[in-house]
Structure 1
Amino acid sequence: MAKILVIGAHGNVGIPIVEKLGQDGDQVLAGVRSEKQFGEYVEFENVQPIEFDLDGTIEDMAKLYQDNQVEQIIFSAGSGGATGDDQTMIIDLDGAIKSMLAAKQAGVKRYLMVSAMGADDRSFWADSGLHAYYIAKHYADVHLRNSGLDYTIVRPSALTFDDQSNQVQVVEKREAGMHIARLDVAQFVVDAIHNDQTIHQILEITAK
């Protein structure tokens, strides 16, 4: 089992990723913005919360990776819909890229990005209501593909709070009306980080 840092561990996808990894026996660092969020993980197996600042420097991130012997990274952070386009660029684009550059600096090879279905479809961005979000996801994914890291990019369709269906499909392209439960995304991510066959793959997933 691996030592895995989950960046964005307090998100609606991040929390179940952390819980499922710990249940599988991985040693999990739950990267969160503040110590105030540490209590979320008290009942979780094999999980240690840790402060992780996406506004920080590449050097500070790399030191955290090295000091904590991080072997794999899952990026599931997002600025949230209410924070504005500037925070989307700071977190979803620049923060993501800094975390990749830090991985290179620290010698961490395995990196999984939770992105978004449609991140390569410019025709969809303007009418999505999340134009800046898709721009950020697109260019973060581009950087990751060219980073030299052992990457996996997981692109879920529209997220819901439905129960886990265990009916995830990998699809060729986005279609209107596709959606997937956050719990299904979390399970897919956990399975993917454990499967070397997903390295250098972009996986667009949906459940319905």
Structure 2
Amino acid sequence: MNVLIVGANGKVARHLVKYLSEESPHDVTAMIRSEEQGEELKQLGAANIVVADLEADISHAFDGVDAVVFAAGSGPHTGADKTVLIDLWGARKVMDEAKNHNIDRFVMLGSMRSEDPEAGPAKMRHYLVAKKLADEYLQNSGLAYTIVRPGPLTNDEAAGTVSIAERLERGENISRADVAYVIAETIDKENTYHKTFDLLGGTTPINQAVKNI
């Protein structure tokens, strides 16, 4: 399977590139905004590099792709205008292009608490609203989607164990490496299709936690 990772130079996505390239039978096409980012991603294992900007035409990035992971994001600390352009409008563009290219499998890197933005911190509400609307668009798209919503992220080494449920209370933070491993495990697992779940650090091995979804 050729997996297109949108936002491949992001912190979670870089772990995902490496994991898919080393630990799975899938090839990785890394979508990035500038050519300068490509060499390091090739060293991480990306089989293909495609340069495309979510604020411009991206249709050429989907040729020969079997599955899409949307891991791009403006982050919660950017202004609302950039958040809308990337986390909402950019995500919708990617979903539409997947459908245009008859790509059915789509995995979204979301965010915990996006189902109820008003309950989140005021400084993050524009981000959570964009994530909520993007998730809803995906859920109604007809694509075979999985939405992975991690809680607070760290740069710690992968623990290999997590907690997954449709809804989780605030708990143990989770490393970006573990989030990437969960995303990788979901890609070809049909029991994760049409599912949305929260993700935190925990005690269940990742492969078992994904099987239990």
- Asked if Structure 1 and Structure 2 have the same fold, meaning a TM-score greater than 0.5 normalized by the shorter chain, the answer is yes
Corresponding residue for 2:14? 15
Q: Is the 1:153–1:201 contact (alpha carbons within 8 Å) kept by the matching residues of 2?
A: yes
Deviations 1:108-164 (A, max 9, x none): 110000000111023423x25311110010000000000011101000011111111
Does residue 205 (structure 1) correspond to residue 204 (structure 2)? The answer is: no
Letter in 2 for 1:39: E
Find the residue that maps to 1:130 and give its secondary structure.
Answer: helix
Corresponding residue for 1:77? 72
Find the residue that maps to 1:94 and give its secondary structure.
Answer: helix
Corresponding residue for 2:127? 133
Once superposed, which parts of structure 1, at least 4 consecutive aligned residues long, lie more than 6 Å away? none
Gaps of 5+ in 2: 203-213
Deviations 1:56-80 (A, max 9, x none): 24xxx334313xx011000000113
- Measured at CA, do residues 149 and 74 of structure 1 come closer, stay the same or move farther in structure 2, by a change above 3 Å? same
TM (norm. structure 1) is 0.91
- Given candidates 144, 155, 161, the residue that maps to 1:150 is 144
Q: Give % identity.
A: 35
Q: Is the 2:151–2:174 contact (alpha carbons within 8 Å) kept by the matching residues of 1?
A: yes
Corresponding residue for 2:2? 3
Does residue 166 (structure 1) correspond to residue 165 (structure 2)? The answer is: no
TM (norm. structure 2) is 0.89
Gaps of 5+ in 1: none
Q: Distance in 2 between matches of 1:4 and 1:109?
A: 12
Q: Is the 2:30–2:46 contact (alpha carbons within 8 Å) kept by the matching residues of 1?
A: no
CA-based RMSD: 1.5
Q: Is the 1:9–1:77 contact (alpha carbons within 8 Å) kept by the matching residues of 2?
A: yes
Aligned length: 201
Q: Is the 2:2–2:67 contact (alpha carbons within 8 Å) kept by the matching residues of 1?
A: yes
